[in-house]
Structure 1
Amino acid sequence: MRSGPGTLAHELVAGWARERPDAVAVSSERRSLTYAQLDHRADRLAAALRAHGVGPETRVGICLPRTADWITALLAVFKAGGAYVPLDPEYPPARLEYMLADSAATVLVGTGPTAEHLAGACDVPLLAPDAETASSATGPGAHPDNLAYVIYTSGSTGRPKGVQVTHASLGNMLAGLTPALEVGPGRRTLQCVSFSFDISVFDTLATLTNGGTLVIATKEEVASPERLADRLRGERIHTVALPPSVLATLVDQEFPDLAVVGSGGEACPPKLAASFAARHRFVNGYGPTETTVAASLFEVTPEHGELPSVPIGAPCAGVSLYVVDDPAGTAAPPGGTGEICIGGAGVARGYLGRPALTAAAFVPDPFSGVPGSRLYRTGDLGRFLPDGALEFSGRADGQVKIRGHRIELNEIRQALERHPRVSQAVVLVGETGLLGGQILAFVLPASGQDAVTGGLLRRHLADELPDYMVPNSITLVREFPLTPNHKVDHAALLAQGSGPRRRDVPVVAPRTPVEADLLRIWQEVLGQPEIGIRDDFFELGGHSLLAAQVVARIEKAHGVQLRLETLLAQGRTVEGLADAVSRAAAGGGTGRPPITRIPRPARRTVPS
């Protein structure tokens, strides 16, 4: 049973259900399913979907937590002939409503308040993942040229856009990537990312179409280096794919059973890649959602740590890579920098309902002799190295990668400018934190309006954008600095953003040695010199990965073990965190309360 452009993923999974029915297919916090159980549950839900009219080219929304139920729903949609649309329940309701309506999904699979709200707001029927029907309705199954999924990515027009990927492109990707990741029977893959992030397509389906076991990590585990490391070791994980920002939190850990580490979603620092390559097989992947997860791979060795950047490698099977130096598609000279264009079987159908955007990004392939073949213009810059490997050189537009997520800065800017108290906004990326790129927003308030604050705007953005797109800082300005050509001076704004913040309340200085040391840790991790002991960690631009770095440094400096939840719940200020550290030290060096679910409020920023 092998993947390829002519194969269908759900049929391969069903084959394993016949060949190895009792092997564990999916293991999550709540439930484990064998291949036979998974196939049976997917068949049952597929029948219910067909009874609601699902068939080829029909879109079905899935709004579920990352559990075995999600995998059941995905396979059921495929078996019914439809295409799935992932809707992460952690996203703001307004964004989910837009995606569900824009996709024209005819059915929603989900449970819980968010799914119920979406079904009502968009007037679509809601099915639970264990739904069944007495109907024996049948219909045509999916063909390789039919739609497999629609994943929404950040859009430069201010709204996310749905990328349409067919089963043929999906099968080609699985066939090309599977050998590099060594998935198969008896091997366990850790699934760590949202199903709205396209790397989930690979780690999920590559594992299940090859008879392996998919182990689903919780969001809390991924946010905590300690818990993620424990899960990797405890589950004896063989393969994991993570963004570099998460890998950086695990670099000092040992994983005796881990054989293959994949990285993608953003540029991987060479020293980080080389450190993992010294102990594991390390594969660096590259590819936009529009070319079905990955278009190229590069296997890193320890010697690559001395390179200025990690190459993104050679094209996967069925994929063509080109570097062009003009809009007409003229190939750049050997070693010359130009725009990376991707052709071949992985090129997506286009953007759902966006013919103009599709025509601009998916263009005729002048290098192919196959009639109707197309290239995807990535907007990424690169060059071919003498050995034939492709090197990534950055973006040609305002699109960036932050913590593995592809983001259009223009979408954040437009969301800010939709607030009635905002006249103009500029959104940039600055290297201000321990983990690299940070989203920095600069806002010119509207004249004659009531006062606007960074916290007010952060709450506004939290209603429209996913958490990873909310800026780490929002700075209010009286005017924008201009270049001699009368354009906004981005360099001057970044310098302003890295300087001291304007504050409405005075800085409260540390009063004890513990507070002083914790304050120093916060300053180093957040990249900010002016912090008081009563400032909120998340208002200062902190996020869960930076919080994990704080906890790790505290454990090393003070010899106490704290859970990430301690910082999220009790230690949002240095003052509160110092109290937790002191109590942990007095209790014998452990600060591990029982694990409870702590809802995180919308992130806010210090008014500037």
Structure 2
Amino acid sequence: MNANISVANNVHTKVSLNSYNTFTELSEIDIDHGKYFSMTGHEQLVIERITTLASKYAEEIAIDASSKKLTYREYFHNAVSLCNLLKTFKVGANDRVIVFLDPSEHIPISLLAILMSGATYVPLDVTWPQERISAILDDVCPKAILTQNNYKHQFQHLKNVNIVDLDFDFVGEFAIETVAKPIHTKADLADVALIFYTSGSTGLPKGVKLTYGNLQSYIESSQETYKFNNSDTHLSIAKNSFSISIFDLLVPFYCGGSLKIKPRQLLLNPDSLSELVKDSTCFHMGPALLESLIYHTESIGLSYPNIRHISSGGDMIPSSLLERSKTVFPNSEIWVIYGCTEIACMGATWQVDRNSVTNVTYVGKSFKHSNILLLDETLTPVSTGELGEVYFTGDGVTPGYLNRKELNQTKFIHIDNSRYYATGDFGVIDETGNLQLKGRKDFQIKVNGIRIETEEIEHHLNNITCIEKSIVIGAKDIKEDVKIVAFVKKQEGTENFNENTVKQELAVSLPDYMVPNKIYPIDKFPLNTNGKLDRNELISIAEKNLTDNQSSISDKDEVAKKLEKLWFSTGLSGTIHYDSNFFDMGGDSLSAVQLVYSLNSNFGIDCDFEFIYTNPNFNSQLNTIKSGHVEAVRPPDTLVEPLDDKQNSSAKSVFITPGLYGHVVTFHNFGKRLSDKWKAYGLLCPNYEGETESSIEEIANRLANDIIKTQPEGPYYLSGHSSGAIVSLEIARKLQTLGKKAYVVMIEARLFDKAPRKPLRKVFMIYLKNKSRLYLERLLINKSSNNLTNQQDPNNRADQKRLLSLPKLKGAFTFSKAQVERYKITPCDIDTILIKGKQNIWWDALREWPDDYGLSEYVNLIGTLYSKGEHVSIVMERENHDELAQVLEESLSMFDSL
């Protein structure tokens, strides 16, 4: 059987799935008539062992993903198919393959395929900002990129890179054809198998190289220590861009077990996470998420007797958390893991003793393939009980960093003919031989298990116009959790300093987890007696600020005061006002979990995780509490929703309508990307519960009335995306009939009846290539038709939820396809500008599109501008919003000259 796999090197390739025979020819294994050779016995390498088990457990479930379950046969065959495709690109030893995917079965399949080919697996996080991704692409110089249709456009500018769109990979439908001569592929143990990117002190992330030998050490260490078996079901929790993810993505298959891999929003929602844990036997979880799970479990009186193994690490784990774990996981062994990417993640481990009270958290003793050495400043070993810097040696120590020769010489040293990695951690080894960590040598901090170089954040802060110099530290809040805090000295002449604006600028370059929780302006940095920067003084100031909370809430309002106390208990700091935003004050997904259960237990309401996201403001939560219940769907007072918090009374307003099945949440905070000359509003469509379906004309009338309430006098500036642009045009027509001047900027608005279809044969071939995408879109549309009763988000495509980290949005405020199809556009004298995407979407090839998308016949089209993205991604991808805002503002300014 052949499979269609979309390959972007400006071609779509049809690939024949021939057999693929792996590694050394010692023991022949028949996998559906293809010949696979594997080493036998204890000395099997990772891929060889998985090959053996794929035959032994061929009909057993290997992967349980959201969309499907795959047997070992299907898992293995799909990996072989993808490996064969990579080989057609001449991908081999030390060639780098980028993996840019949402959590799904595609990730473990891609990892196995890349390792089968002998190449290098380089995972990137799809939520990273484009600037960071571009820097990594320049560093890696990949030979191929494995991605999916949502993200393919981000790489189409690359030359000589094969881009594989796995949305066209029909998982589970592949067959392997026998070939006469088997292909033998075996990577050398010194070849690079994996590259993981971590925070870098130079302002750019650094790639850590792991060899096939390191990988073998990694997997063997975990299996020999924790004794996983084929009855284990592992829950994948770590993002695949972190090295600990290999613990999830390979260990289950190395022991014949199964892997659950689910979307991030399910893992961050305590209710769905609890259900996933109930159906598993093993997991590794960072301390912060583990604490939120235990908090949830304790609050509803549950336990998980099914769990037989848990491990945690990546950050300091309070001994009290380990004690609570004993109760919540009564039949589980509990382990602490310590390591870092530079030592293939697995350095040392410690098993919690269930028979005694845990008062101190150790990280234990080294794994079989590593060795720990504690050295003083002269590189002399310290005695038992003395403080020293932690060094590791052994098979896990990696070759170092990609393209960082000087850093490699600093962090990797030779002692007595052995190569060591200097961790920068201080520790003590007690008389039992167990290591206990005691802090850091440098300025690196760990937040939720992620290592962060503060210098990288400082680099990007110092590049912001209003900032002269910055210092970033880690400081503990009232819960003893580490928060990222920045102190900044403003540029001379800077009067106003807006913390949220600075955070937004940082988000263009840094992942969300590296944006400081708090940014404090400071006149001058404190110095110690030696005239050097006194970081300890800054930490003291920060921790005082993080715990010195103030109130503007009326003492007479007992409910509000109680809510305020609960907000502070989650680790927020500063002054809470009635209009304060939980997330702007430093709240995150983990603190939101705590707040949910505090609200329910203290006020007797029944809110969930998504309630905090859809009601982040203090006053909104307060009103819900006072009403005594959470309204799943509540008609708003107005359909005009602010998209920024600008207070400039002289600013002009632009009113933006989202497209079909869209939502104003797509443009969340979009207004802040416009200059202070403009204030932005989003328009909801009145299709909420209890409302009869209206025509587009009736919707436009309602929206026009609400716009006039917001802005009594014109001129009015409107914009809309796709079908939303047609709604904006109808609103402008209504305003015009009221004697008011209105202008419209139409973003990727198209009139399909003005674009004839191409010949049927060409259309059929395009549909054939896009079969799986059409099925997915039909599924989303069917779900949206049940939007009045379905508790799942009816209004937004999966991309919107992921990009905004909103697992669910309540309320149906979007117009429908039926309303759009019933609407007939007629000519009008309204000045209009068209913004087109710079890239094409797949269905562009179905029709002969005129340059103006057919709009000139119906509006006074005065110009066409272009912005990054294609029809969907131009507004759906947040990284496109900066350019879109700039182009939109340029369009709006063109009306002033008319």
- Fold match by TM threshold 0.5: yes
Question: Counterpart of 1:264 in structure 2: which amino acid?
Answer: G
2:291 to 235, 248, 251: 248
| CA separation of 1:303 and 1:468: change in aligned 2, threshold 3 A | farther
Question: Counterpart of 1:276 in structure 2: which amino acid?
Answer: S
Q: Which residue of 2 aligns with 1:345?
A: 395
Q: Which residue of 1 aligns with 2:616?
A: 572
Structure 1 residue 267 corresponds to structure 2 residue 319 = no
1:594 to 786, 791, 799: 791
Q: Which residue of 2 aligns with 1:402?
A: 447
Separation of aligned partners in 1, 2:42 and 2:155 = 34
2:553–2:561 Cα contact (<8 Å) kept = no
2:243 to 195, 198, 208: 198
Separation of aligned partners in 1, 2:312 and 2:57 = 30
Q: Which residue of 1 aligns with 2:777?
A: none
Structure 1 residue 543 corresponds to structure 2 residue 552 = no
Q: Which residue of 1 aligns with 2:507?
A: 462
1:181–1:262 Cα contact (<8 Å) kept = no
Three-state SS of the structure 2 residue aligned to 1:40 is helix
Question: Counterpart of 1:170 in structure 2: which amino acid?
Answer: L
Aligned pairs for 1:79-158 within 5 A: 79-120=116-157, 124-129=161-166, 140-158=185-203
1:292–1:346 Cα contact (<8 Å) kept = yes
| CA separation of 1:99 and 1:281: change in aligned 2, threshold 3 A | same
Q: How far off its partner does 1:228 sit?
A: 1.1
| CA separation of 1:587 and 1:463: change in aligned 2, threshold 3 A | closer
Q: How far off its partner does 1:121 sit?
A: 5.0
Unaligned stretches of 5+ residues in structure 1: 603-608
Q: Which residue of 1 aligns with 2:265?
A: 220
| CA separation of 1:212 and 1:581: change in aligned 2, threshold 3 A | farther
Structure 1 residue 69 corresponds to structure 2 residue 106 = yes
Structure 1 residue 447 corresponds to structure 2 residue 497 = no
Three-state SS of the structure 1 residue aligned to 2:214 is helix
Q: How far off its partner does 1:464 sit?
A: 1.0
Question: Counterpart of 1:210 in structure 2: which amino acid?
Answer: C
Structure 1 residue 585 corresponds to structure 2 residue 616 = no
Q: How far off its partner does 1:113 sit?
A: 3.7
Separation of aligned partners in 2, 1:105 and 1:4 = 35
Q: How far off its partner does 1:586 sit?
A: 6.8
**CA offsets per residue over residues 82-112 of structure 1, 9 Å max, x none?**
0110111011111111112211211100013
Q: Which residue of 1 aligns with 2:50?
A: 13
Q: Which has the larger radius of gyration?
A: 2
| CA separation of 1:7 and 1:268: change in aligned 2, threshold 3 A | same
Question: Counterpart of 1:192 in structure 2: which amino acid?
Answer: I
Three-state SS of the structure 2 residue aligned to 1:112 is coil
Q: How far off its partner does 1:527 sit?
A: 4.2
Using the TM superposition, name which of 271-280 and 377-386 deviates more.
271-280
**CA offsets per residue over residues 297-346 of structure 1, 9 Å max, x none?**
10012466443x3111111111111111134x321122211111100110
Three-state SS of the structure 2 residue aligned to 1:71 is helix
Q: How far off its partner does 1:595 sit?
A: 3.0
- CA RMSD in angstroms, aligned pairs only: 2.8
Q: How far off its partner does 1:413 sit?
A: 1.0
| CA separation of 1:3 and 1:57: change in aligned 2, threshold 3 A | farther
Q: How far off its partner does 1:538 sit?
A: 1.2
Separation of aligned partners in 1, 2:592 and 2:315 = 20
1:154–1:161 Cα contact (<8 Å) kept = yes
2:363 to 307, 312, 329: 312
Q: How far off its partner does 1:128 sit?
A: 2.0
| CA separation of 1:7 and 1:290: change in aligned 2, threshold 3 A | farther
Three-state SS of the structure 2 residue aligned to 1:377 is strand
Q: How far off its partner does 1:44 sit?
A: 0.8
Question: Counterpart of 2:200 in structure 1: which amino acid?
Answer: G
Separation of aligned partners in 2, 1:122 and 1:269 = 49
Aligned pairs for 1:285-304 within 5 A: 285-302=337-354
Q: How far off its partner does 1:498 sit?
A: 4.5
Using the TM superposition, name which of 489-498 and 544-553 deviates more.
489-498
Separation of aligned partners in 2, 1:10 and 1:167 = 10
Question: Counterpart of 1:600 in structure 2: which amino acid?
Answer: L
Aligned pairs for 1:501-540 within 5 A: 507=552, 509=554, 513-528=558-573, 530-540=575-585
2:371–2:394 Cα contact (<8 Å) kept = yes
Q: Which residue of 2 aligns with 1:605?
A: none
Separation of aligned partners in 1, 2:315 and 2:291 = 13
Separation of aligned partners in 1, 2:43 and 2:595 = 49
| CA separation of 1:527 and 1:498: change in aligned 2, threshold 3 A | farther
2:322–2:358 Cα contact (<8 Å) kept = no
**CA offsets per residue over residues 512-556 of structure 1, 9 Å max, x none?**
544332221002212426211211111111111011111121122
| CA separation of 1:340 and 1:115: change in aligned 2, threshold 3 A | farther
Three-state SS of the structure 2 residue aligned to 1:561 is coil
Q: TM-score, normalised by structure 1?
A: 0.90
**CA offsets per residue over residues 321-372 of structure 1, 9 Å max, x none?**
1111134x32112221111110011011111111111111111132xxxx6x
| CA separation of 1:305 and 1:417: change in aligned 2, threshold 3 A | farther
**CA offsets per residue over residues 26-56 of structure 1, 9 Å max, x none?**
1111221111001111111111111112101
| CA separation of 1:112 and 1:478: change in aligned 2, threshold 3 A | farther
Three-state SS of the structure 2 residue aligned to 1:298 is strand
Identity of aligned residues (%): 25
| CA separation of 1:114 and 1:393: change in aligned 2, threshold 3 A | same
Question: Counterpart of 2:791 in structure 1: which amino acid?
Answer: P
Separation of aligned partners in 2, 1:335 and 1:482 = 33
1:343–1:365 Cα contact (<8 Å) kept = no
1:258 to 307, 317, 326: 307
Three-state SS of the structure 2 residue aligned to 1:108 is strand
Q: Which residue of 2 aligns with 1:479?
A: 524
Separation of aligned partners in 2, 1:411 and 1:304 = 42
Aligned pairs for 1:275-424 within 5 A: 275-277=324-326, 279=330, 280-302=332-354, 305-307=357-359, 309-327=360-378, 329-366=379-416, 373-424=418-469
Separation of aligned partners in 1, 2:99 and 2:339 = 24
**CA offsets per residue over residues 559-601 of structure 1, 9 Å max, x none?**
33322111112x211111233445562779xxx9823264438
Using the TM superposition, name which of 62-71 and 219-228 deviates more.
219-228
Separation of aligned partners in 1, 2:159 and 2:625 = 48
Q: How far off its partner does 1:398 sit?
A: 0.7
Separation of aligned partners in 2, 1:600 and 1:63 = 18
1:93–1:463 Cα contact (<8 Å) kept = yes
2:605–2:630 Cα contact (<8 Å) kept = no
Question: Counterpart of 1:203 in structure 2: which amino acid?
Answer: D
1:106–1:125 Cα contact (<8 Å) kept = yes
| CA separation of 1:482 and 1:12: change in aligned 2, threshold 3 A | same
Question: Counterpart of 2:402 in structure 1: which amino acid?
Answer: L
2:336–2:363 Cα contact (<8 Å) kept = yes
Question: Counterpart of 2:385 in structure 1: which amino acid?
Answer: G
Question: Counterpart of 2:804 in structure 1: which amino acid?
Answer: R
2:607–2:630 Cα contact (<8 Å) kept = no
Q: Which residue of 2 aligns with 1:35?
A: 72
Using the TM superposition, name which of 479-488 and 29-38 deviates more.
479-488
Separation of aligned partners in 2, 1:362 and 1:5 = 31
| CA separation of 1:60 and 1:444: change in aligned 2, threshold 3 A | same
| CA separation of 1:583 and 1:208: change in aligned 2, threshold 3 A | farther
Question: Counterpart of 1:244 in structure 2: which amino acid?
Answer: P
Unaligned stretches of 5+ residues in structure 2: 1-37, 633-788, 806-877, 879-898
Q: TM-score, normalised by structure 2?
A: 0.62
What number of residue pairs does the alignment pair up?
Answer: 586
| CA separation of 1:492 and 1:379: change in aligned 2, threshold 3 A | closer
| CA separation of 1:552 and 1:3: change in aligned 2, threshold 3 A | farther
Three-state SS of the structure 1 residue aligned to 2:484 is strand
